[in-house]
Structure 1
Amino acid sequence: MPSTAIELDADGVAVRLSSPDKPYFPELGLTKLHVANYVQSVGEGLLAALRNRPTTLERWPGGVQPGATITSRAGRGAAFYQKKAPFSMPEHVQTATVTYPSGRTAQQVMPTCLADLLWLVNLGTLRFHAWPVTAPETELVDQLRLDLDPQPGTGIAEARQVALELRALLAELALESFCKTSGGRGLHVYASVEPIDFIDARHAAIAIGRELARRMPELVTVDWWKEERGERIFVDFNQMARDRLMSSAYSIRPVPEALVSAPLDWDEVAEVDPREFTVATMPARFEQVGDPWEPLYRVSPASLATALDWYARDAAAGQGEMPYPPEYPKMPGEPPRVQPSRQRRID
């Protein structure tokens, strides 16, 4: 029988939590209430990462059970991504309008307070995927986000080396950068940028990735096709494409270990072990050191003009547009979306 619902206090707002004893990470003995308590303990940092940003919700209402699957639509699996705001919402929840690659628009949840976060936890939300835009200007990117994705044969050791070199490269562009664990094997690097449209933001990410690959050719690749990447760290430039989102700081990864995406100081990166950051360990860390990313939200944004100059230079030399994600409509200047080995057979 489900446990009786309880009320949590979110800075003076009462939020109902149903079935608080429902197992969410059974191997660790963590319940829905444990997840809610975690979100309360790191709420200041999590809210800073999401505030006024339209957010896609990754909902696991049944908890992280063995064999659970995730789909893009509710009712099709044990977990699902929810893009559109729910039909029924508390009065304190706000929304923002976003435009998807298809051209369709929709209202998405836009967290503004701790009560929003706890209400979303009650819906089973573990990971929050915020857009790199701030309402109401949801067509203008204001965060550059670079995903360092280890390919087979590489891991966190290589990702750490690449992240430190990336920091130096971004400093040359006058970009103050911030690093966090992804919640998995990789690292994410963010920077605050002057508002720019999605295509230019993605082109800047491509150019930065290419420059990083030139400096570390044995460790870094921007090759979109997996058959060409080798044992290197892939700079996933398409994470800057419209509606391709990364998990926010302090989000919980739906794995048995309940890992979380942990913001870091740069002096931690050289020896960081992502396995150290979990729902169980992060509250004490947050109480001790606070949010290492707090400066990200108040630093002066910098221009991506030089990165776009690099992109134009590379395009003039024959390295221009790259493939978009498969769900996208055909984009201007995009090369064929056919993996090279298959393209050679066709030719």
Structure 2
Amino acid sequence: MNKGKVVVGMSGGVDSTVAAYLLNKQGYEVTGVTLRMWDGEGTEKAIADAKRVADSIGISHEVLDCREAFRTCVVNDFIGQYQKGVTPNPCIVCNRMVKEKSLLDKAKEIGGKYIATGHYARIEKHPKTGRYAIRNSATAEKDQTYALYRLTQEQLGAMLLPIGEYTKDEVRKIAEAVDGFVAKKGESQDICFIPDGDYAAFIEREGKLTETPGNFVDMDGTILGKHKGLIHYTIGQRKGLGIALGKPAFVYRLDTEKNEVVLSDNAALFRTTLCADNLAYMAYDKFEDGQRFLAKIRYAHKPAWCTVRMVGEDKLEVVFDEPQRAITPGQSLVLYDGEFVAGGGFVL
């Protein structure tokens, strides 16, 4: 039975391979699509791997050129945020503005109803509100709901996440039946367009920026030494500061006006309150003052209980029950109602 046309994002990796394989087995008419977003290391090989896998599964495969959108929406934003002294998460922007948008546009073009990716998450209607929402995957170890919180209701309504019920080991085992080489591939890079992890060098090169050294200062403003440029640092950082004070020191704040890196002890990094803007709503279409949620302030953060209230048309205040370490401007606050993503925003 043909369940309809689905466009599957295929990166040439394990997870998207298995997503396409499972949907094909379930009776969908699958089109594999690889998004060319960046002409970097490994791009051509990833495309070739995806094409080989698609042939093995017996599905069609196309390459979509998304480089312009990726540069505008993701790379330029990434550089701009670092210039402002904040630490962005480009994958979250990419998921909504480039990946899922491009897949959905392609699905509409071919008369398809669905799109799919290899994310470890599930999509269900929220039991209270009836809105589409991302739900935690079956395995907490690989849960990727945090990165998907900005998806729209239209995107969620068309989206299939076939590996959300599986563990990574189970997915690798399925992949072995499709392509032995792909099944042995390692995990993908955190940021695909900076494979070496040298953010500062990338920002200098792509943003045509010159680093401006400045002062390390303590909480009272006393000069402690010289830093290499604000783009080398993020809140909570201890390693790689290049300064010896005879005691542990951590980045407390980046002061873009004075070009200073403010250092503190670890205890000063703990706070109970944050504000977020550029809000995205998922399980709920608005937040009510006094609502209780579990919140994550970074991908690997253990969810913590909090209470929220609106303090502006597009600004949310979050008060945690317990102090949280290194709340970082530019990172995403993601709110959970049980296992469902309620929404979130960017930390101010």
After TM superposition, is the score higher than 0.5? no
TM-score class normalised by the smaller sequence = under 0.3
Which structure shows the bigger proportion of residues in strand conformation? 2
Compute the TM-score of the two structures, normalised by the length of structure 1.
Answer: 0.24
Tell me which structure has the larger Cα radius of gyration: 2
Structure with more contact order per residue of length (Cα contacts < 8 Å, sep ≥ 6): 1
Compute the TM-score of the two structures, normalised by the length of structure 2.
Answer: 0.24
